[in-house]
Amino acid sequence: MYDLECINIAKSFGSIRAVDDVSFDIPSGSFFSILGPSGCGKTTLMRMIAGFEEPSGGDIKIKGRSVLGTPPNKRNVKMVFQHLALFPMMNVYENIAYGLRCNGVGNAEIKRKVHDVLERIALPDVAEREIHQLSGGQKQRIAIARCMVLDPDVLLLDEPLGALDLKLREAMKIELKLLQHQFNTTFIYITHDQSEALVMSDHVAIMNQGQFEQIGKPQDLYHRPKTAFVAAFVGDSNRWSGRVKSSDGSGGKVETEQGLEMAFTAAGGENIPEGASVEIFVRPEFIHAVRQTDADADDAAATGDNRMEGIVDSLLFNGANSRVLVRGPQGELIEADVTLTGQNDIRPGENVYLFWSSRQAMCFASRGAA
Amino acid sequence: MLRFPGGGLMLQKDFRRLAMILLFAPFALWIALLVVLPHIGMIRLSLREKVAPRVYEFGFANYLDFINEPIYWNTLLRTGSMSLLVTALALLIGFPIAYYIAKLASNRTRGALFLICLIPLWVSDLIRAFGWILLLRETGVISSFLQWAGIVNQPIEFLYNDVTVIIGLVYTVMLFMIVPLVSTLDGMDNSMIEAGYNLGGNGFTVLRRIIVPYAMPGIVSGCIVVFMLTAGSYLTPILLGGKNSSWFTEQIYNQFITRFNWEAGAAFGILLLLFTSTVIWLGLKLSGQTLANTVAKS
Amino acid sequence: MRIKMTVASLLAATMLAGAGTAQAETLRLLTWGSYAPEELIQKFEEEYPDIEVEVTFSNNEEMIAKLRATGGAGYDLAQPSHDRIYAAQLEYEIYKPLDLSKINTDAMQAKLLDGVKANTTIDGEVYAVPHQWGTSGLMADKTKAPDFKGWDDLCDPQYKGKTSMRLKRTILLGTAFAMGEDPFAAYSDLEKYQQILDKVADKLIECKDNIKAYWNSGDDLSAMMLSGEIVASETWDSTAYKLYDQNQNIVFIPPETGALAWIDTFAIPAKGKADDAAYKWINFVLQPENVTIMSASTGAIASVKGAKDLLPEDKKAAVNAAFTDADIDNLKFFANIPPGVEDMEGRTLEKIKAATGG
């Protein structure tokens, strides 16, 4: 039994296909994210699920029943809007009670439910407050409570963290995940921010140009992207274009346009023949940068079958996420993660070796250009 | 500078204050000369009793006159209730239009619709009234059309009654209702309405619980402006009104002009001001709004 | 800032305007619509190149209100009716005495001149001389209301919904005459006058059902009459003459109790600043060839000798269709309005308007 199934759903605005033949289903109680750049059609998809747009084709089923033709106010799908859309002319209590009143729930019952839900979001004392008296994080929780009090089959969240500042956003990510566990309701979370999607979700769908590129667990998307788009969009990568010099189909040697040679592994289950144009992705954390004079340079070499010499161009210090930019022999810049201890660290201008494994050099056949 | 560390600062502060005064002086002067002084004059005039030619005494006779003469306060009540009716109608008609302009229309249609609302204001009151007269008179366009279409077989007089006055006034004040409504509705996030539906509300619930409360400042401000304009209008009720349609401004005019009774005219003017102010105060109280967040905002 | 700019530009504008007027004298006329035809103004300015004529159109009540507001300043020559001089001067002191030696009084009809002088003399000073006269009476479409002859015919049920009147003092006086009263005689006894007014009010309230609408201006009266929406009405004679021009069936009817005659006068406001120019204008418009131009515009008859012959041809025909010599003898000239009467009449008019008749 799925809480939500979308079957070949499509939506066109004039000649533009905003959502193009998308199918997926979400099991009960999971946190599902749809991640994509702006304009990829994710908001349209969400609006179709909520009932604000009618699909041009396909079917949407909630708890196994098709909701096509059901008006938004009759669907048991609630939505947290991008700017939350709390009603400023009502206080917190009335905001939460609104949906219950629409459903004709009695006053005593409303009171009980509102206090219950406020308890659950850990804001028991704000019932009488006006919306403008709340902090950003509190508003967020009230917006969720306003939906959850109605016990929806699916909760849609449309980039609700976008308006918050960085610190609060980080905190809210965790809180949202906890709330989802607590309510045990299916959350569908729309975002263009990959870290939000990766941190919170059980499953993530990557959407691009109206289509799903890949659906999977966050780790799968990160480590085993099926398409070049997913590899580029999820996480950071060093990216090269190149041509395959030798290949057994699943791996071989490639030469980049800059003339850099490396061993690769075909990603996404593709078969990559000799002579194919390809895109190569190597994540910075899989590249080891070692001082050429260091004693352990040879040890480091064992971690990768690709090796390159370079000069440290600059150091991007960011605590645990620090990085070096290394200028290679052809003049291109390569990013590599480094651990900085504060003692005897790599400095700009030093000569380094870069090592990485061919298993981490993900290769995709170039689209169209081949 | 060093010896008088505060000196420069003081000078700057004084200068700034002077600049403020200079900046506000014309405005204050304008308010004083055009609003405050005339009203003080009116109040003084209204408290004068004429005892003989060129001889006046202080007294409340003009106000007592008003209280003792049912014609006067009936006319004031009539003017007030008809103005309220006009306000209500303007709101009922204007709200959907404003909603359409603010939320549904494309940018191009928006401009066109605004223009249509603006057109009545391009011509003078008088021309507008004559336009209505041409349409509505017994031998006018509408009556002739109905006869031509065979719907009626006798000319019909649409003119010279209260309904005509109300139509004419609603037409005149429509823009003043629509503009504040559009400006508040425009500021309303569409997702607010969608949230209203999403949480289970039907069209009526969303209108009643979300759109109308949100637009309340605009509604109140539009109503205040429209009510004031209507209660203070002169030409439209005079020209379109029938034999019995007295309007309070007409009585003020008559007192001043045909009866040379400036004292009574001034008293009536003050009474009209007090009356409309009271109605507006009541309206604000009932709707829970303040002047600051309605008229001042839009 | 914007306000400041406006103030500055206003100041500049007034200073410029002041500089302009210093050179040529301006004659500021306060008169009735059509009493200052463009043709005549041009002719006058050609004759007196150093005088510029500025015209403000108004009516009796507004003329007095305007002059009262300023204590008689702002205009150099006003033209209220002869019955609006005496009380207004007594109460508000808005006019200044005329120097009759500067006016060509010989050209005026002695009867009208003496009448106006008698009505407007205070402490031996004369405050007005006659300009034009005309009447208020009735008009009817001969083909639809052939027997129309008196004020009370407006209330005749056979014309139900087909008559009109102007709810102003004229109809009060006309109705009083039709009821056999003499309201002018009662001016000296205001209690008596009030009784007459009460009777008139009852009559007119009862009559309300018969009236289609009260007219406000010559324009709406003309429209109703020409379209046939009404067949008879109270009217100014000049309006009736204009309609006669377009439809020969519409004639002015002096009521059998006598048409009510008014004389519009020349009076100089107390603080007028161009008395000489005002006298020049008075004498100018009384010249025979100018009288014709004026009458063509106003439809009223000048108070100069032989004025009827100076009327343009079409107006002459209309007047002849309306008045017999007996009618002219029967004219009732409006009597001077004593202080307080306007208030009594105003109250009566309000009562009629507020009453729920038809």
Q: What is the pLDDT of residues C268-295, one digit of tens each?
A: 999 999 999 999 999 999 999 999 999 9
In a shared domain, residues C190 and C64:
no
Please give the torsion angle defined by the CA atoms of residues A339, A343, A346 and A352, in that order, rounded to the nearest 10 degrees: -90
Q: How confident is the model at residue A297 (pLDDT cuts 50, 70, 90)?
A: low
| Phi-psi category of residue C193: left, alpha or beta, with phi > 0 → left and psi -120 to 50 → alpha | alpha
In a shared domain, residues A354 and A216:
no
Instruction: Give Cα A80 distance to the centre of its chain.
Output: 18
Residue of A189, A185, A142, A198 lying closest to A162 (CA atoms): A189
Best mutation target, A98, A188, A190, to test chain B (most B CBs within 10 A): A98
In a shared domain, residues C157 and C246:
yes
In a shared domain, residues A190 and A312:
no
Which of A185, A206, A228 is the last residue in one of the domains? A228
Give the ipTM: 0.82
CA of B194: which chain A residue's CA is closest? A52
Instruction: Give Cα B295 distance to the centre of its chain.
Output: 12
Q: What is the pLDDT of residues C103-159, one digit of tens each?
A: 999 999 888 899 899 889 999 999 999 999 999 999 999 999 999 999 999 999 999
Structure tokens given for C290: 């100018």
Q: How confident is the model at residue B219 (pLDDT cuts 50, 70, 90)?
A: very high
**Mean pLDDT of all residues in chain A?**
89
CA of B28: which chain C residue's CA is closest? C3
Q: pTM for the full model?
A: 0.81
Best mutation target, B49, B54, B243, B247, to test chain C (most C CBs within 10 A): B243
Which of A228, A259, A286 is the last residue in one of the domains? A228
Best mutation target, B21, B256, B258, B268, to test chain C (most C CBs within 10 A): B258
pLDDT > 90? residue C91: no
In a shared domain, residues C297 and C268:
yes
Distance from C70 to chain B by nearest Cα, in Å?
14
Structure tokens given for C282: 């008075």
Q: Do B195 and A71 touch (CB under 8 A)?
A: no
In a shared domain, residues A221 and A294:
no
How far apart (Å, rounded) are the C-alpha atoms in residues B94 and B218?
Answer: 11
**Mean pLDDT of all residues in chain C?**
88
pLDDT > 80? residue A303: no
In a shared domain, residues C82 and C204:
no
Give me the residue label for tokens 């065979």: B150
Q: What is the pLDDT of residues A4-61, one digit of tens each?
A: 999 999 999 988 899 999 999 998 989 999 999 988 999 999 999 999 999 999 999 9
Percent over 70 (pLDDT), chain C:
93
- CATH number (domain holding residue A252): 2.40.50.140
Q: Which of chain B's residues have a Cβ under 8 Å away from the Cβ of C345?
A: 259
Percent over 70 (pLDDT), chain B:
95
In C301-358, alpha helices (H): 307-310, 313-322, 325-329, 341-354
How far apart (Å, rounded) are the C-alpha atoms in residues A284 and A303?
Answer: 14
pLDDT > 50? residue C199: yes
Region C66-93 average pLDDT: 91
CA of B202: which chain A residue's CA is closest? A73
- CATH number (domain holding residue A196): 3.40.50.300
Q: What is the pLDDT of residues B134-168, one digit of tens each?
A: 888 888 888 889 988 888 888 888 888 889 999 99
Query: For residue B56, what are the CA distances in angstroms to A252, B48, B53, C278, C337?
Result: 115, 6, 8, 34, 21
How far apart (Å, rounded) are the C-alpha atoms in residues A64 and A60?
Answer: 9
In a shared domain, residues C293 and C147:
no
pLDDT > 80? residue B298: no
pLDDT of residue C154: 95
In a shared domain, residues A16 and A73:
yes
pLDDT of residue B122: 83
Query: For residue A180, what are the CA distances in angstroms to A32, A164, B9?
Result: 11, 19, 59
In a shared domain, residues A223 and A248:
no
In a shared domain, residues C227 and C100:
no
CA of A77: which chain B residue's CA is closest? B198
Asked, for residue C95, whether it belongs to a domain, the answer is: yes
Q: How confident is the model at residue C197 (pLDDT cuts 50, 70, 90)?
A: very high
Helix axes C288-298, C275-285, angle to 10 degrees: 90
pLDDT of residue B287: 85
Which of A228, A251, A269 is the last residue in one of the domains? A228
Q: Which residue has the higher pLDDT, B35 or C175?
A: C175
Best mutation target, A78, A86, A89, to test chain B (most B CBs within 10 A): A89
In a shared domain, residues C12 and C33:
yes
In a shared domain, residues C248 and C342:
yes
Are the C-beta atoms of residues A38 and A209 closer than 8 Å to each other? no
Instruction: Identify the chains in contact with A, defined as 3+ C-beta pairs within 8 A.
Output: B
Q: Do B257 and C91 touch (CB under 8 A)?
A: no
In a shared domain, residues A188 and A256:
no
In a shared domain, residues A99 and A209:
yes
Region C32-56 average pLDDT: 93
Range of the domain at A330: 236-370
Count of CB atoms within 10 A of residue A195's CB? Answer: 13
Region A169-179 average pLDDT: 88
Are the C-beta atoms of residues C336 and C86 closer than 8 Å to each other? yes
pLDDT of residue A298: 67
Best mutation target, A81, A110, A114, to test chain B (most B CBs within 10 A): A81
Count of CB atoms within 10 A of residue B277's CB? Answer: 11
Domain tally for chain C? 2
pLDDT > 50? residue C216: yes
Q: How confident is the model at residue C33 (pLDDT cuts 50, 70, 90)?
A: confident
Query: For residue A148, what are the CA distances in angstroms to A97, A100, A135, A300, C57?
Result: 11, 11, 20, 52, 74
Chains C and A touch (3+ CB pairs under 8 A): no
Range of the domain at C239: 134-261+333-354
In a shared domain, residues A269 and A207:
no
Asked, for residue C155, whether it belongs to a domain, the answer is: yes
In a shared domain, residues A271 and A343:
yes
Region B69-85 average pLDDT: 93
Are the C-beta atoms of residues C343 and B251 closer than 8 Å to each other? no
When CB atoms are compared, the residue of A72, A83, A87 closest to B198 is: A72
Instruction: Identify the chains in contact with B, defined as 3+ C-beta pairs within 8 A.
Output: A, C
Helix axes A107-120, A136-148, angle to 10 degrees: 130
In a shared domain, residues A180 and A293:
no
Count of CB atoms within 10 A of residue A274's CB? Answer: 13
Q: Do A79 and B195 touch (CB under 8 A)?
A: yes
Q: What is the pLDDT of residues A202-231, one digit of tens each?
A: 999 999 999 999 999 999 999 999 999 999
In a shared domain, residues C39 and C121:
yes
Q: Return the CATH architecture of domain B61-287.
A: Orthogonal Bundle (1.10)
Domain tally for chain A? 2
pLDDT of residue C19: 43
pLDDT > 80? residue B4: no
Q: What is the pLDDT of residues C336-353, one digit of tens each?
A: 888 888 889 999 999 998
In a shared domain, residues C74 and C121:
yes
When CB atoms are compared, the residue of A52, A73, A147 closest to B201 is: A73
Q: DSSP of A171-229, one letter per residue?
A: HHHHHHHHHHHHHT-EEEEEES-HHHHHHH-SEEEEEETTEEEEEE-HHHHHHS-SSHH
Q: Which residue has the higher pLDDT, B114 or A232?
A: A232
Count of CB atoms within 10 A of residue C299's CB? Answer: 26
Q: DSSP of C57-71, one letter per residue?
A: EE-HHHHHHHHHHHT
Region B204-210 average pLDDT: 93
Q: Do B243 and C358 touch (CB under 8 A)?
A: yes
In a shared domain, residues C101 and C11:
yes
Region C212-225 average pLDDT: 90
- Chain B CB within 8 Å of residue C271 CB: no
Q: Do B133 and C220 touch (CB under 8 A)?
A: yes
Write down the domain spans for chain B: 1-46, 61-287
In a shared domain, residues A177 and A37:
yes
Which residues are within 8 A (CB) of B242 and not within 5 positions of it... i.e. 6 or more apart? B159, B160, B161, B162, B164, C213
Which residues are within 8 A (CB) of B292 and not within 5 positions of it... i.e. 6 or more apart? none
Q: Which of chain C's residues have a Cβ under 8 Å away from the Cβ of B53?
A: 90-91, 339
In a shared domain, residues C27 and C42:
yes
Q: What is the pLDDT of residues A117-149, one digit of tens each?
A: 999 888 999 999 999 999 988 999 999 999 999
How far apart (Å, rounded) are the C-alpha atoms in residues B33 and B37?
Answer: 5
3-state secondary structure of A32: strand
pLDDT > 80? residue C12: no
pLDDT > 70? residue B296: no
Q: What is the pLDDT of residues A230-276, one digit of tens each?
A: 999 998 899 999 999 988 878 888 988 888 888 888 887 778 888 88
Structure tokens given for B63: 């106000």
Q: DSSP of A69-93, one letter per residue?
A: T--GGGSSEEEEBTTB---TTSBHH
Distance from C311 to chain B by nearest Cα, in Å?
32
Q: Do B137 and C227 touch (CB under 8 A)?
A: yes
- CATH number (domain holding residue C182): 3.40.190.10
Structure tokens given for C268: 């100089």
Interface of C with B in 195-254 (CB under 8 A): 208, 211-214, 216, 220, 223-224, 227-229
- Chain A CB within 8 Å of residue B214 CB: yes
Asked, for residue C140, whether it belongs to a domain, the answer is: yes
When CB atoms are compared, the residue of B27, B53, B258 closest to C346 is: B258
Asked, for residue C27, whether it belongs to a domain, the answer is: yes
Region A64-75 average pLDDT: 92
Q: DSSP of A265-318, one letter per residue?
A: EE-TT--B-TT-EEEEEE-GGG-EEEETT-TTHHHHHTT-SEEEEEEEEEEE--
How far apart (Å, rounded) are the C-alpha atoms in residues C60 and C80?
Answer: 5
In a shared domain, residues A259 and A356:
yes
Q: Do B254 and C220 touch (CB under 8 A)?
A: no
What are residue A4's DSSP bridge partners? A26, A62
Distance from B201 to chain A by nearest Cα, in Å?
5
